Amino acid sequence: MSDTLTVAGEEIPYTEGMTSTELFASDPTTVAVWINGASCDLHRELQPGDVVEPISISSEEGLNILRHSTAHVVAQAVQELFPGTKLGIGPYITDGFYYDFQVEEPFTPQDLKAIEKRCQRIVKEGQTFHRTEVSDDEARTRLADEPFKLELVEDKGKGAEGASVEVGGDQLTIYENRNRKGDIVWEDLCRGPHLPSTKLIGNGFAVTKSSAAYWRGDQSNASLQRVYGTAWPSKDELRAYQERIAEAERRDHRKLGAELDLFSFPDELGSGLPVFHPKGGVIKRVMEDYVRQRHIEEGFEYVGTPHISKETLYYTSGHLPYYGENMFPPFTVDKHVAEDGTVTHEGTDYRLKAMNCPMHNLIYRSRGRSYRDLPLRLFEFGTVYRDEPSGVIHGLTRVRGFAQDDSHSYVAEEEAAAEIKHLLDFMLSLLRDFGLDDFYLELSTREVDGAKKDKFIGSDEQWEIATNTLREVAEATGLELVPDPGGAAFYGPKISVQARDAIGRTWQMSTVQMDFNQPERFDLEYSASDGTRRRPVMIHSAKFGSIERFIGVLTEHYAGAFPVWLSPVQATLVPVADEFDDYCHDIAQKLKARGVRVEVDTSDDRFPKKIRNASKSKVPYTLIAGGEDRDAGAVSFRFRDGSQDNGVPIDEAVERIVKAIEERAQV
């Protein structure tokens, strides 16, 4: 056995009893270590031959450890403030953490303030986290008053929901929080790792909110209270995060949709079923018209398919066996019942359409196809319906009924790479047209930790060809390519375009998928140049994904201030007084004649309020007209930022606006 260690790429002598605490004592940013690829506490004793790498508190793993350690502090604070509280689980999540508790009464805002204050005291005490290996029986004894923890002990090694946070494998560990005297003041079943001390949490954390929850996410289980929080390496980073959250709330498309009268979510329709108001309808129409034309220019043929079909179609496609939980239940059509109650005709089960591809396959199969027809590109704005769980419905970005700009390319296998490149180029150019230009790509495959899940269909060879083809095309773009093991559709791997918005959030936008399986299931063929019958490859692509979701993303990206070509109202004319109303209407007619969407504010509001109203509506251009303007045949040209050009001749003002629309200016 080697008598050395490899530490941060350098070989050093091994000494019995060594820990990483000694190795990184001079580096306060190192809060844990990778030991042979596994993240571990700094005080874990090292063995000869170990390979050790530092984990910085600012790294992804370091932040996870910081946040999970803070979750333990919150749990300790809750149990100190509310004796008798039972512990659930407390994992880290994106930008923060949560911890679930069983308490007698829901937490109030005042309770959350008290919890945060108690956490601050625990942090300042500098309690240390100590990992202790325990047997199953010892764990049961020490956790005798924690029924949820006892359940997790029984689930050890089973991979059950929630267990992985607490139980890493066959070995149970309890983390003890000890005070400066070395006394155990609190403990929790946990696999770790944790920070060496609560002092490293510092003042970069906050308790943010609470909500109702259920043990293991199952409503049939015990009701719990979930406390959320966030933690960062410094107070400045916490403030920056809080500012990002506040900005995200200001940009919330649900709030802006109501303020700008774009769309709403009537309870009478049901969850996840939005309606577009006239102004939102303008945005939706302009987007659809533009994207429809772009598809035609890119060689697609526009088709249309119904909203329902016999459910046997989805058995053929494979969606019901592999995607059925996301589809609405069947309903029976043409069932005949006699007056005496006897069923004289059983009828046929139908389904709401959850995807367009099976119907496009029927269009392909409607007549013979030749290699000269390929690539055959079919496109439609097809409305689909998916039975999303109520807990994930969110405004326009997660709905139950939506329109996909869905297309399917049927190509010879040797043409697949070229078609995927064509589609990716198309997608990226389209997103740039709408003002999104910061991307990376994600490759979703069927492999999870090297194993194949049974949710996928098709041969190993087909999956390997499809995955390699997508990977090679994605890499050729020069964009960052991030793996997504296990994220593929049941019928094939997928590239998704991940776009960052104006405040740095990432949204999944366009997708392209390569599919050998549906052509086989629908027995699709074409006549090759040598006279043989061959099977095409099917390539699925969606540029927006969902037009509803894309509108929600754009609303937040632009904070409701859409570029002039998309704005529901592109110019508002504001007369300084009633006597200038007719002059403003004349200008409006000139703009309308050039296709500009324009309004004239002839309301009873005073002039200053009309200007404020125009600003609140986020209209790109406000044209103001008074006596001097009328006498000069001009207007005052006011922009969103409050700047203003006075005395602009009418014809020049019209041309400015028309040019900005034609150039899709981001004003």
Residue 309 has pLDDT above 80, yes or no: yes
Whether 540 sits among the annotated catalytic residues: the reply is yes
Question: Confidence band (pLDDT; 50, 70, 90) for 183?
Answer: very high
Supply the range of the domain harboring residue 332. 308-352
Judgement on whether residues 30 and 81 belong to the same structural domain of the protein: no
Residue 162 has pLDDT above 60, yes or no: no
Judgement on whether residues 445 and 387 belong to the same structural domain of the protein: yes
Of the residues 194, 351, 377, 408, which is catalytic? 408
Average pLDDT over the chain reads: 92
Half-sphere exposure of 594 (CA within 13 A, CB side): 20
Question: Which whole number is the average pLDDT over 367-378?
Answer: 95
CB-CB neighbours of 91 under 10 Å: 16
Backbone angles phi and psi of 12, in degrees to 5: -135, 160
Q: What total number of domains does the chain contain?
A: 5
Residue 666 has pLDDT above 80, yes or no: no
CATH number at residue 534: 3.30.930.10
Judgement on whether residues 48 and 72 belong to the same structural domain of the protein: no
Residue 159 has pLDDT above 60, yes or no: no
> Do residues 412 and 534 touch, judged by C-beta distance below 8 A?
yes
What is the pLDDT, as a whole number, of residue 583? 93
What element of type H or E holds 31? strand 30-35
Q: For 583-601, how does the pLDDT look when each residue is reduced to its tens digit (9 = 90+)?
A: 999 999 999 999 999 999 9
Whether 494 sits among the annotated catalytic residues: the reply is yes
The residue whose two tokens read 């293991």 is 216
Question: Confidence band (pLDDT; 50, 70, 90) for 174?
Answer: very high
CATH number at residue 231: 3.30.980.10
> Do residues 104 and 114 touch, judged by C-beta distance below 8 A?
no
Of the residues 40, 119, 190, 357, which is catalytic? 357
What element of type H or E holds 4? strand 4-7
Whether 137 sits among the annotated catalytic residues: the reply is no
CB-CB neighbours of 506 under 10 Å: 13
Three-state secondary-structure class, residue 403: strand
Judgement on whether residues 182 and 228 belong to the same structural domain of the protein: yes
Task: Tell me whether residue 181 is in a domain.
Answer: yes
Judgement on whether residues 72 and 189 belong to the same structural domain of the protein: yes
Domain boundary residue, one of 503, 532, 558: 558
> Do residues 275 and 269 touch, judged by C-beta distance below 8 A?
yes
What is the pLDDT, as a whole number, of residue 105? 92
Question: Which whole number is the average pLDDT over 178-207?
Answer: 95
Judgement on whether residues 570 and 524 belong to the same structural domain of the protein: no
Task: Tell me whether residue 358 is in a domain.
Answer: yes
Q: For 35-88, how does the pLDDT look when each residue is reduced to its tens digit (9 = 90+)?
A: 999 999 999 999 999 999 999 999 999 999 999 999 999 999 999 999 999 999
Q: Rounded to an integer, what distance in angstroms lies between the CA atom of residue 305 and that of residue 356?
A: 8
Q: Rounded to an integer, what distance in angstroms lies between the CA atom of residue 338 and that of residue 132?
A: 73
Of the residues 111, 406, 501, 515, which is catalytic? 406
Cα–Cα–Cα angle for 277, 283, 288, rounded to 5 degrees: 115
Question: Confidence band (pLDDT; 50, 70, 90) for 6?
Answer: very high
Whether 586 sits among the annotated catalytic residues: the reply is no
Task: Tell me whether residue 485 is in a domain.
Answer: yes
Per the annotation, where are the binding residues? 357, 408, 540
Judgement on whether residues 226 and 87 belong to the same structural domain of the protein: yes
Question: Which whole number is the average pLDDT over 417-429?
Answer: 95
> Do residues 481 and 475 touch, judged by C-beta distance below 8 A?
yes
Domain boundary residue, one of 298, 320, 352: 352
Question: Confidence band (pLDDT; 50, 70, 90) for 495?
Answer: very high
> Do residues 410 and 374 touch, judged by C-beta distance below 8 A?
yes
Question: Which whole number is the average pLDDT over 211-236?
Answer: 93
Q: Rounded to an integer, what distance in angstroms lies between the CA atom of residue 38 and that of residue 60?
A: 14
> Do residues 399 and 389 touch, judged by C-beta distance below 8 A?
no
Residue 110 has pLDDT above 70, yes or no: yes
Q: How far is CA 93 from the centre of its chain?
A: 14
Q: For 521-580, how does the pLDDT look when each residue is reduced to its tens digit (9 = 90+)?
A: 999 999 999 999 999 999 999 998 899 999 999 999 999 999 999 999 999 999 999 999
3-state SS track over 350-390:
EEECCCCHHHHHHHHHCCCCEHHHCCEEEEEEEEEECCCCH
Per the annotation, where are the binding residues for Zn(2+)? 357, 408, 540
Residue 356 has pLDDT above 60, yes or no: yes
Phi-psi region of 348 (alpha: psi -120 to 50; beta: other; left: phi over 0): beta
The percent of residues above 90 in pLDDT, for the chain, comes to: 82
Judgement on whether residues 454 and 382 belong to the same structural domain of the protein: yes
What element of type H or E holds 97? strand 96-102
Domain boundary residue, one of 528, 558, 588: 558
Whether 253 sits among the annotated catalytic residues: the reply is no
Choice between 336 and 443, residue whose per-residue pLDDT is larger: 443
Q: For 249-292, how does the pLDDT look when each residue is reduced to its tens digit (9 = 90+)?
A: 999 999 999 999 999 999 999 999 999 999 999 999 999 999 99
Question: Confidence band (pLDDT; 50, 70, 90) for 371?
Answer: very high
Q: Rounded to an integer, what distance in angstroms lies between the CA atom of residue 149 and that of residue 142?
A: 10
CATH number at residue 48: 3.10.20.30
Three-state secondary-structure class, residue 273: coil
Task: Tell me whether residue 284 is in a domain.
Answer: no
Whether 610 sits among the annotated catalytic residues: the reply is no
> What distance separates the 2 farthest-apart alpha carbons in the chain?
96
Task: Tell me whether residue 431 is in a domain.
Answer: yes
Q: Rounded to an integer, what distance in angstroms lies between the CA atom of residue 296 and that of residue 282?
A: 21
What is the pLDDT, as a whole number, of residue 581? 92
**At a CB cut-off of 8 Å and minimum separation 6, what does 73 contact?**
119, 122, 123, 198, 201
Q: Rounded to an integer, what distance in angstroms lies between the CA atom of residue 310 and that of residue 331?
A: 10
Choice between 536 and 155, residue whose per-residue pLDDT is larger: 536
CATH number at residue 652: 3.40.50.800
Judgement on whether residues 51 and 85 belong to the same structural domain of the protein: no
Judgement on whether residues 576 and 529 belong to the same structural domain of the protein: no
What is the pLDDT, as a whole number, of residue 596? 96
Choice between 324 and 170, residue whose per-residue pLDDT is larger: 324
Residue 13 has pLDDT above 60, yes or no: yes
Q: Rounded to an integer, what distance in angstroms lies between the CA atom of residue 515 and that of residue 492?
A: 5
Task: Tell me whether residue 509 is in a domain.
Answer: yes
Whether 136 sits among the annotated catalytic residues: the reply is no
> Do residues 61 and 33 touch, judged by C-beta distance below 8 A?
no
Q: Is 337 exposed, middle or buried (0-12, 13-18, 19+ CB in 10 A)?
A: exposed
Whole-number Cα distances in Å, 354 to 99, 198, 269, 310, 324 = 36, 50, 19, 12, 9
Task: Tell me whether residue 276 is in a domain.
Answer: no
Q: Rounded to an integer, what distance in angstroms lies between the CA atom of residue 434 and that of residue 427?
A: 11
* DSSP string across 186-250: EEEE------SBGGGGTT-EEEEEEEEEEGGG-TTS-EEEEEEEEE-SSHHHHHHHHHHHHHHHH
Of the residues 68, 216, 446, 540, which is catalytic? 540
What is the pLDDT, as a whole number, of residue 412? 95
Residue 221 has pLDDT above 70, yes or no: yes
What is the pLDDT, as a whole number, of residue 163? 57
Choice between 308 and 344, residue whose per-residue pLDDT is larger: 308
Task: Tell me whether residue 483 is in a domain.
Answer: yes
Judgement on whether residues 400 and 302 belong to the same structural domain of the protein: yes
What is the pLDDT, as a whole number, of residue 667? 65
Of the residues 494, 543, 610, 638, which is catalytic? 494
What is the pLDDT, as a whole number, of residue 166? 65
DSSP code at position 491: T
What is the pLDDT, as a whole number, of residue 12? 92
What is the pLDDT, as a whole number, of residue 2? 64
> Do residues 411 and 528 touch, judged by C-beta distance below 8 A?
no
Q: Rounded to an integer, what distance in angstroms lies between the CA atom of residue 70 and that of residue 537?
A: 51
Judgement on whether residues 421 and 537 belong to the same structural domain of the protein: yes
Of the residues 351, 360, 386, 638, which is catalytic? 386
What is the pLDDT, as a whole number, of residue 333? 87
Q: Rounded to an integer, what distance in angstroms lies between the CA atom of residue 153 and that of residue 162?
A: 11
Of the residues 127, 404, 513, 570, which is catalytic? 404
